[in-house]
Amino acid sequence: MNNLNPNIPEAVRAVASDGTQLRYALMELSAQYKDAIALGRGDPDLATPEHILAAVEESIIQQKTGLTPVAGMPEIREAIAKKFQRENGLSVSAENVMVTTGGQEALYLLMQTLLDPGDEVLVPDPRYTSYDEAIESAGGKMVMVPTDQVDAFNLRPEAVEAAITPKTKALLIITPSNPTGGIVTEERLREIAAIAIKHNLIVISDEIYEKFVYDDWKHFSIGSLPGMEDRTITLNGFSKTYAMTGFRIGFVAAPKNFIDAMTKVKAITSGPVATISQWAGIAALTGSQAPIEEFRQIYSERRRFMMDGLSAMGLTYSDPRGAFFLWTDCSSIGVHSTELSYLLLKEAQVLIFPGTGFGENWGGYLRISLLQTTDLLREALDRMKPVVEKYRALR
């Protein structure tokens, strides 16, 4: 990206080729603007449901705060197993479940456990670049599997099979997707499962956005298919579904021998998840699920509002079938997305992440999150419009 505008701050230019660091650099830059509207990070802005907070308070009052087993309290592992059985069709028990300090740690632990140096992991492109770091930290190598807007960033079985080499060990699936909002449909997952079995691949299925799927689209778990039980690692967590990002609690379902191996790594790194967060997780899974649908309706309304606003600006976007992002094609403006993100922040005080924050091939896209009120989304659109028109006219 050496052709970036020299007026972009060095703090941004220096990390322009590192998706994760680029996102953090833009967030730090946005702190200079007192009224910046953040449409960058994927942290839910909605309130954690009251019954979850009540469970935390009760655990403190009752002093149920002692150290727990590294893999998680038996109560929460059982609750997670039942959730997987009930909602995802997975044949798992508590011994197949591990509780982690957020999804980020889950990624790190599983890659450290799964990969040997030189092993290849097939990764859909674009992607959340924390996967890059987790894979590379274990000595693994990423092999990109291309996806595109024409297909709503659905994963193509033929593209998966074409990327397989003798060194391929695993395939990463993210559905719904961060950053694109695409989903991998059941039909495609069935074909991909057959490929995984044929080539003896492990499948890592990140399903953390599973509850936020829109219109008539449905979420489907590849681990529920015949022959996939012993070769699928399913990632999920509480942060997105229950607006619990600060609780730092995720979970993994996998064959018992893999869970045991991950537990050994976790024991010498971070140890067990905070006890009060585990009680919060139990309350989330066993209490009322009504807030999830309320959240989904709010995100759905914001999604439609933002889609209409971007269309009115002459911007197109991938079909947002899930999650809470709009993967927006900004190529018509004629400015590289990294530079455009900086200009939108500087001239409009709106923080939006460039497509290059999710892979070097995506300089013509922006990822816009929906995690602000409709009033703030309206204000953001009003601020963005003159900037978009200004630089499109200069093209």
Render pLDDT for 91-116 as a digit per residue (tens, 0 to 9).
999 999 999 999 999 999 999 999 99
Q: When comparing pLDDT for 28 and 86, which is higher?
A: 86
Are 320 and 353 members of one domain?
yes
Q: Which of 328, 281, 288, 285 is nearest to 306 (CA)?
A: 328
Domain count for the chain, please give it: 2
Say how far apart CA 60 and CA 75 lie, in whole Å.
17
Are 327 and 181 members of one domain?
no
Q: What is the DSSP string of 91-134?
A: ---GGGEEEESHHHHHHHHHHHHH--TT-EEEEEES--THHHHH
Q: Which of 259, 286, 313 is the last residue of a domain?
A: 286
Burial class (CB in 10 A: 0-12, 13-18, 19+), 61: exposed
Are 113 and 224 members of one domain?
yes
Contact 366, 338 (CB under 8 A): no
* Percentage of residues in the chain having pLDDT higher than 70: 98
Per-residue pLDDT tens over the stretch 236-274: 999 999 999 999 999 999 999 999 999 999 999 999 999
Are 160 and 206 members of one domain?
yes
Q: Which residue has the tokens 């941004």?
A: 12
Q: DSSP state, 236?
A: E
| Residue 77: both structure tokens together | 């592992």
Are 33 and 94 members of one domain?
no
Say how far apart CA 155 and CA 176 lie, in whole Å.
11
Are 314 and 194 members of one domain?
no
Over its C-alpha atoms, the chain yields an Rg (Å, rounded) of 21
The pLDDT of residue 2 is above 50:
no
| pTM score of the predicted model | 0.94
- Which residues share a beta bridge with 353? 367
pLDDT number for residue 107: 94
In a domain, 85, yes or no: yes
Cis peptide preceding 117, ω within 30 of 0: no
For 388, the domain range is 10-46+291-393
Say how far apart CA 265 and CA 261 lie, in whole Å.
7
